[in-house]
Amino acid sequence: LAIVRLLQRLRQGESGLGFIRDRIAEFLVFTIDGNICGCARTFLYDDTMEISCFGHTLRFDAVEILQSILGFALTEARRKNVGKVIIPVNDVPPLMAIMPWFSGLGFRKENGAPKRGRQKIWSTQLRDG
């Protein structure tokens, strides 16, 4: 239920509980003292990891929470030998894109794959190919 609360304002048009229940294994969570303070959905297709559905509490600094989640997701992507990581532009807070640590991870804005319903994405290559 904590993930549902974090994502509720982002997924107003869908049944949040059903969406999360169907995809619970795809969510990373950030906890402080056993309380979920942030989350993001990661899933793999082809040679790509997509990170979406960022959510956070208002109790702690959103940037720190999202930076920790993103750092962990990138570590997992490298461990799994994923070639590319993408984030739908609309899934991150607008100011996160101007944070030096974000651009330092190699993320660049580009056109997304229309077949996946993505207009613009943030993308970083983890390896050549």
Q: What is the pTM of this model?
A: 0.81
Q: What is the mean pLDDT of each run of 10 residues along the chain (129 residues)?
A: 60 59 83 85 92 82 85 94 92 80 89 74 84
Q: Please say whether the beta carbons of 105 and 75 come within 8 A.
A: no
66 near 96, Cβ under 8 Å?
A: yes
Q: How far is the C-alpha of 35 from the C-alpha of 67, rounded, in Å?
A: 18
Tens digits of residue pLDDT in 106-129:
899 998 876 666 688 999 999 875
